[in-house]
A and B are shown apart, each in its own frame.
Chain A
Amino acid sequence: MNDLNMKSLEAKVVVLGSQGVGKTSVVIRYVGGMFSKAVSPTIGASFFTYKLTLEQYRVKLQVWDTAGQERFRSMAPMYYRKANAAMLVYDITSLESFYDIKDWVKELKKNVDTPIVLCLLGNKSDLDSGRKVSKEDAAEYASSINALFYETSALKNTGIEDAFLQVSKQLIHLYETVPNSGMGSLISQQPPDMFAGSQALKLPDRQEPGQQQTSESNCAC
């Protein structure tokens, strides 16, 4: 394919879910192609980028892997408010972690009012003998919230590639159909200039923080 016909797309993906479900492992498997049993709990949030080519698009995913620990919970809005897609990860051997997803979805519904691609991931599918969440229940729930659904294993590397690929497809669809999706096109982006002040450097966000604040206070009235 001719390079000139390629379009570029930059999108933010946030990964949410309880501590220990395998968020970091899934992201590292996808971005870095590895799995480590001794992965260390995320502090704050980690930032990964991944580039792929899909349907005439060069897609750059900016993936925010958030920490599941209680003390970082209050930081989550900072990441999901600007996200174009959210990966909701639970552990198929933990019912609790599946219920937590419902809380996340409630929270997203309340705080996000622009289109966002949702994808439910039931991770640790290699641990089928300890399964507590049935595939059917999860799939049913996923369709009820209009989310994609995959069972994945970061250990066995199953489902992860597919999930990110489908999410990327939906992101492209979103980009083409919703004019103000907030996703950046790499081509139109200004070359960053260190001394032009911080405004010029900001990558396109789905919402400006200021607008967020006002829309919130409007709701409260």
Chain B
Amino acid sequence: MATEIREAEQNASVSDSDSGQSDFIETNEIPGKSSNTLLVANDSFEDLSYAELNNTIVASPMGTINSLVKKKAKRSLSLPEREHVEDTVSESEVDDSEVETSEICDDSQVDMIEARVTELSLQETTSQTADAQIPHLMTNTDTDYVNSPEWKRQKKHIFILSESGKPIYSRHGNEDKLVTIMGVMQALVSFVADSNKDTLRSIVAGDHKFVFMTRDHLTFVGVTRGKESTQQMFLQLTYMYNQVISILTHSTLTRIFKQHRNYDLRRPLSGAEKFFDNLLNLMDVEPGLLLTSVRCLPLDSNVRDIVSQTIAQHAKVKDLVFALIIAQNQLVAVVRMKKYYLHPMDLHLILNLINASESFKAAESWTPICLPKFDAAGFLQAHVSYLDEECQTCLLLLSVDIEAFYTLSECKAKIQERLIKYNALAAINNSLKRNSYSIQQCSISDLRHFLYKSRSTAQYTSPELEAPYNTKEEKERLFGLYYYLHDRIHTSGRTLKILFHVGAYETLLGWVTTGFELYAVFGPLVTKMSAIHAVNKLLRWIKKEEDRLFILSSVTF
């Protein structure tokens, strides 16, 4: 049993009613539904549980990347050039059908990293000055800041610390100045673990909620005064964990701590702080993370087809697993290797990478990235480039071949040339300028805003944020409403299908079926029946627009 200290919930002012499913569906076609899998869509918010933490991630030799690299090695065996064969695989192994390659790229890379990490930790234990290399400027203002009321007033804090209580990351303030508070947090976690053989999940104290997650020798702590539930905070911490894995890989992370329990993880993570910061900022403005789904850039389906087909045709190269175009955090197109799918949580890490690094705008880049849902054990290599002068439309080519840069660079040039020729880049730019769509276009009176997720495709759509939700405070409040509605529907013990909630300033309707999740925000005076009528009208509107709002086909190389 988990330790959970909770204060009584105050829900007196809330009038809710929930009902069974399907009595209300007037349409039998689910908008945005598709059986062509593009993104992994099979795990839901409810599946995210503490139990999952005990399942160790698949060990490296079984990983997806490894099996792809093995395939590559096999392929090279069948090449006519003998020399090449001998170079890649030692002769004794050639006879075996299941070729064990020791020089494959991801392994050798991991080994290099490992060697490097070992080297570093030795440096750390032998040299006193090692710490000085970490580029953190410590000033008095840092110390003052973490003791200031301003620091304490921050709406949300996220901390990452090592098992031994070493600070690794803090959302606000320099983690170096938080040694004491992080020590206390680790002591709490350890105390519950040691004395009760139990796991500390959350503490509610006043209007603050503390959520804890321990995973692979790391402790993630979230502290919030916001509307997020424990489960939702847990999801946010999971994204943070995934971000760590994305930078280091799971294999390297576990190896590091196996060798040196006291290792200062800030060293290999140095320079990556902005990815954590940016990811947390994204969570406050991008509902896709909460819904584990992505938003597509609205685009005529024939334009989108041209884009996908162009990529599929001109990036037909071995070992390329995914090719995708993204623009302003929205998905334009994905082309994938047969049998392999992109997970929305991984896609959010990719969006975060692009979103947080200006450096890609200067030149074509080549960088390792681990996608934990795809394969936590190894890196994919990403060729990153922008296709337009304004640096808004970004092409990513993800390969298992560490040597593929020049090949992919040529693919990029061809794709870019064709997309310009077919006016597809211009179409993408136009869509970006048009700002998605206004709620007015749905012409449903009293409907102010909504989030609609198609579960089968793991994609969602929602209109622009317009008045009254155009100020920072109101946006934040709207997000709070969605967090509340999402939580009530998903984690209230019984799974609600429809939830009607009359609040002070607006009325909320949440509706979850096997095909979709809909969260709608109405004016305060709407009745339950007219709200249900309105969402049915909305579903019909989304259905009509689905070709533009969702990617319903799945293109492979």
A residues near B, CB below 8 A? 19-20, 24, 28, 32, 38-48, 65, 67, 69-75, 77-78, 96, 192, 194-195, 197-199, 201-203, 208-211, 213-214
User: What mask results when residues 368 to 380 of chain B are scored 1 for a CB within 8 Å of chain A, else 0?
Assistant: 1000000000000
Those 10 A-B pairs whose CB atoms lie nearest each other, nearest first: A44-B367, A210-B87, A40-B358, A69-B271, A74-B112, A46-B363, A40-B359, A74-B113, A47-B364, A71-B268
B445 contacts A by Cβ under 8 Å: no
Contact of A44 among B314, B316, B366, B414 (CB under 8 A): B366
Contact between chains at B410 and A192 (CB < 8 Å): yes
B316 & A74 in contact (Cβ 8 Å cutoff): no
Known: A24-B359, A40-B362, A74-B112. 16 other contacts (CB 8 A): A40-B357, A40-B358, A46-B366, A70-B271, A71-B113, A71-B269, A71-B271, A72-B368, A74-B115, A75-B109, A194-B317, A194-B411, A198-B407, A208-B87, A209-B403, A210-B87
Asked whether, in the complex, the Cβ of A74 is within 8 Å of the Cβ of B109, the reply is yes
Known: A70-B271, A71-B270. A201 touches B406 (CB 8 A): yes
Is residue B544 within 8 Å, beta carbon to beta carbon, of the partner chain?
no
Interface status of B318 (Cβ within 8 A of chain A)? yes
Q: Does B116 have its Cβ within 8 Å of any Cβ on chain A?
A: yes
How far is B105's CA from A209's CA once the two chains are assembled, in angstroms?
10
Q: Which residues of B contact A199 (CB under 8 A)?
A: 79, 81
**A interface footprint on B28-68 (CB within 8 Å = 1, 0 otherwise):** 00000000000000000000000000000000000000000
Beyond A69-B271, A70-B120, whether A43 also contacts B84 by CB under 8 A is no
A210 near B359: Cβ-Cβ < 8 Å: no
Across-interface contacts of B411 in A (CB, < 8 A): 194
CA distance A209 to B84 in the complex (A): 10
Q: Which residues of A contact B248 (CB under 8 A)?
A: 71
CA distance A165 to B358 in the complex (A): 29
- What are 11 contact pairs spanning A and B, CB under 8 A? A43-B357, A43-B365, A44-B368, A47-B365, A47-B366, A69-B270, A69-B271, A73-B116, A198-B404, A199-B81, A209-B403
Cβ B409 vs Cβ A47 within 8 A: yes
Contact at A65–B357, with CB atoms within 8 Å?
Answer: no
- Give the residues in chain B near A201, CB-CB below 8 Å: 406-407, 410
Give the interface residue-count category, chain B.
35 or more
Task: Name the residue in B271, B358, B360 with the highest tally of chain A Cβ atoms < 10 Å from its Cβ.
Answer: B271
Q: Are A214 and B414 in contact (CB under 8 A)?
A: no
Known: A70-B270, A74-B112. A198 touches B317 (CB 8 A): yes
CB under 8 Å from chain A, chain B span 96-119: 103, 109, 112-113, 115-116
Tell me if B368 and A195 are in contact (CB < 8 A).
no
| B272 surroundings in chain A (CB, below 8 A) | 69, 71
Contacts of B84 in A (CB 8 A): 210
Q: Are A202 and B116 in contact (CB under 8 A)?
A: no
B432 contacts chain A at the CB level, 8 A cutoff: no
Q: For residue A192, which residue of chain B has the nearest CB? A: B410
B247 within 8 A of A: yes
The CA-CA distance from A49 to B12 in the complex, in Å, is: 66
B267 within 8 A of A: yes
CA distance A210 to B353 in the complex (A): 32
Residues in B with CB closer than 8 Å to A203 are 406
What's the nearest-Cβ distance from chain A to residue B474, in Å? 31
Q: For residue A195, which residues in chain B have a CB less than 8 angstroms away from its CB?
A: 316
B88 located at the interface, meaning its Cβ lies under 8 Å from any Cβ of chain A in the complex = yes
Are A46 and B365 interface neighbours, CB within 8 A? Answer: yes
Knowing A46-B363, A73-B116 are in contact, say whether A210-B271 is a contact too (CB < 8 A). no
Q: Which of B83, B120, B365 makes the CB contact (< 8 A) with A210?
A: B83
Given A44-B366, A44-B367, A46-B365, also A74-B358 (CB < 8 A): no
